[in-house]
């Protein structure tokens, strides 16, 4: 990955991507996702028709993030209410997540892996309850630590230590927050911070155009409204990241230069651009209010991928819905190259139904997850073996297969997930 070759912006970028924070995600009972078990790459592209469930996968990650930030009740409200988030084809009123994560410890540079699971029940006319939760962290030499919660009891463990068990009344707040804050804070910040810094986006140019109050220190909002603040924070904290954004924007648009933040009094700010007219005319300055949807969406995507804000730093994962919207197909290549380069800094997850995006040689079959709606259920799986062979033998491209509606989910992986779903539904023996 990180193979962008445009000399104007890429220089001698390292060809290795940062290991993905989310290595695998298993979701049960969220909206159209009755069950999925999906492996993610440093750059992953969810491909599927409208209403197939691509957005629901991203929304589920946002729900998990907000669950840890705010608790189950508030997270459900933010995502449309309990009845809106529960899967209609599920047999119970529960939502469950299992994730496998990678990290590098900030102090020792030791590699860590973690598996985190949580199940929330949403009884009718009652507050949500966390039914079960577990965390297991392991380092490179096999030392483990973590906890498990079920039936009103928590058991914490660590290699070489005796397990500690006590009663804990389940609430709408995950135990991971207490575990991080009170018990093993020196060991677990990366897992909690990683989940709570998932950066999920569906950009709205109409919101970006509005003058905004300053919001220093926050990651980019879902709709991009605080774009000016995040640009300024990135410029102050990582000049190179700001320059990558600025130079990629010019390569993609050809005529637009990012000037940065401009303030209107003490209470409002927006983004300032410089637009060249022709070889003889002087460039003109414009605020975000005067820029096209395509330009604002491209800038927001670049800022999301390269953002660096105080305390948070870079997000653990940046997910962007349909970054190709309002973008000329000819500019798609440079945008994909920019997002691929960003995998040196963070994990990137995209949704699309654009064949032009898939025609970029940066995107290979292993980066694709096909999303399909089958019998009212969202299915997410790698590309089928036949399509992989076709692309390998250069008989067609990923984009060409998408144009012809021939890009299919791997049936063997779909069957594997069905077996996992059936096994998870069986009562424990």
Least confident of 15-24, 328-337, 392-401: 15-24
How confident is the model at residue 315, as a pLDDT? 94
| Residue 228 predicted with pLDDT over 50 | yes
| Lowest-confidence region among 36-40, 169-173, 250-254, 300-304 | 169-173
Helices 293-306, 329-341: crossing angle, 10 deg rounding: 10
pLDDT grade for 186, boundaries at 50, 70 and 90: low
Q: List all residues 6 or more positions away from 260 whose beta carbon is below 8 Å from its beta carbon.
A: 231, 232, 235, 271, 272
- Report whether pLDDT(345) > 80: yes
Q: Considering the chain, what percentage of its residues have pLDDT values greater than 90?
A: 66
Q: Quick one: pLDDT at residue 234? A: 95
Best CA proximity match to 347, nearest among 24, 12, 25, 40:
40
Say yes or no to pLDDT of 107 above 70: no
Q: Is the pLDDT of residue 405 over 70?
A: yes
The pLDDT of 149-172, averaged and rounded, is 76
Q: Which pLDDT band, with edges at 50, 70 and 90, does 154 fall under?
A: confident
What's residue 266's pLDDT? Answer: 86
Is pLDDT above 50 for 12?
no
Residue 26, pLDDT above cutoff 90? yes
Q: Report residue 174's pLDDT band, with 50, 70 and 90 as the boundaries.
A: confident
Confidence of residue 18 (pLDDT cuts 50, 70, 90): confident
Share of the chain above pLDDT 70, in %: 90
Q: Is the dihedral of CA 273, 278, 279, 283 positive or negative?
A: negative
pLDDT tens readout for residues 69-104:
999 999 999 999 999 999 988 889 999 999 999 885
Q: What is the chain's mean pLDDT, rounded?
A: 88
- Say what the pLDDT of residue 381 is: 97
When comparing pLDDT for 4 and 330, which is higher?
330
Contacts for 153 with CB less than 8 Å, ≥ 6 apart: 165, 166, 167, 168
Confidence of residue 216 (pLDDT cuts 50, 70, 90): confident
Query: For every residue of the chain, which 3-state class applies, written as one string?
Result: CCCCCCCCCCCCCCCCCCCCCEEEEEEEEECCEEEEEEECCCEEEEECCCCCCHHHHHHHHHHHHHHHHHCHHHHHHHCCCHHHHECCCCCCCEEEEEEEEEEECCCCCCEEEEEEEEEEECCCCCCCEEEEEEEEEEECCCCEEEEEEECCEEEEEECCCCCEEEECCCCCCCHHHHHHHHHCCCCCHHHHHHHHCEEEECCCHHHHCCCECCCCCCCCCCCCCCHHHHHHHHHHHCHHHHHHHHHHHHHHHCCEEEEEEEEECCCEEEEEEEECCCCCCCCEEEEHHHCCHHHHHHHHHHHHHHCCECCCECCCEEEEECCCCCCCHHHHHHHHHHHHHHHHCCEEEEEECCHHHHCCCCCCHHHEEEEEEECCEEEEEEECHHHHHHHHCCCCCHHHHHHCCCCCECHHHHHHHHHHHHHHHCCCC
Residue 171: pLDDT above 80? no
């Amino acid at each position: 990955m990180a193979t962008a070759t445009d000399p104007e912006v890429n220089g001698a970028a390292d060809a290795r991507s940062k290991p993905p924070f989310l290595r695998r995600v298993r979701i049960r009972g969220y909206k159209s996702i009755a069950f999925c078990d999906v492996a993610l790459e440093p750059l992953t592209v969810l491909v599927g028709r409208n209403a197939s469930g691509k957005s629901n996968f991203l929304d589920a990650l946002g729900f998990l993030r907000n669950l840890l930030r705010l608790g189950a009740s508030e997270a459900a409200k933010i995502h449309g209410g309990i009845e809106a988030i529960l899967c209609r084809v599920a047999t119970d009123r529960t939502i469950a997540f299992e994730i496998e994560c990678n990290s590098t410890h900030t102090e020792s540079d030791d590699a860590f892996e973690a598996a985190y699971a949580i199940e929330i029940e949403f009884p009718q006319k009652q507050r949500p309850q966390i039914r079960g939760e577990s965390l297991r962290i392991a380092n490179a030499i096999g030392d483990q630590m973590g906890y498990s919660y079920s039936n009103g009891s928590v058991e914490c463990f660590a290699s070489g230590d005796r397990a500690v068990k006590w009663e804990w009344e389940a609430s709408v707040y995950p135990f991971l927050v207490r575990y991080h804050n009170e018990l093993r804070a020196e060991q677990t910040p990366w897992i909690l911070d990683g989940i709570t810094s998932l950066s999920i986006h569906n950009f709205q140019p109409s919101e970006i155009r509005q003058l905004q109050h300053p919001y220093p220190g926050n990651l980019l909002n879902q709709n991009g409204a605080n774009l000016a603040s995040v640009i300024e924070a990135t410029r102050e904290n990582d000049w190179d990241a700001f320059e990558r954004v600025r130079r990629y924007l010019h390569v993609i648009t050809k005529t637009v230069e990012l000037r940065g933040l401009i303030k209107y009094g003490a209470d409002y700010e927006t983004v300032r651009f410089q637009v060249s007219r022709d070889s003889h005319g002087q460039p003109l300055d414009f605020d975000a209010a005067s820029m096209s949807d395509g330009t604002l969406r491209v800038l927001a995507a670049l800022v999301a991928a390269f953002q660096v804000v105080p305390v948070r730093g870079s997000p653990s994962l940046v997910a962007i819905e349909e970054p190709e919207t309002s973008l000329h197909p000819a500019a798609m290549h440079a945008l994909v190259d920019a997002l691929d380069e960003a995998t040196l800094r963070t994990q990137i997850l995209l949704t699309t139904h654009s064949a032009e995006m898939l025609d970029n040689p940066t995107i290979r079959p292993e980066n694709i997850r096909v999303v399909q709606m089958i019998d009212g259920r969202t299915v997410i799986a790698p590309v089928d073996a036949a399509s992989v062979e076709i692309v390998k033998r250069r008989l067609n491209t990923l984009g060409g297969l998408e144009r012809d509606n021939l890009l299919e989910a791997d049936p063997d992986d779909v069957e594997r997930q069905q077996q996992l779903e059936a096994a998870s539904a069986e009562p424990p023996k």
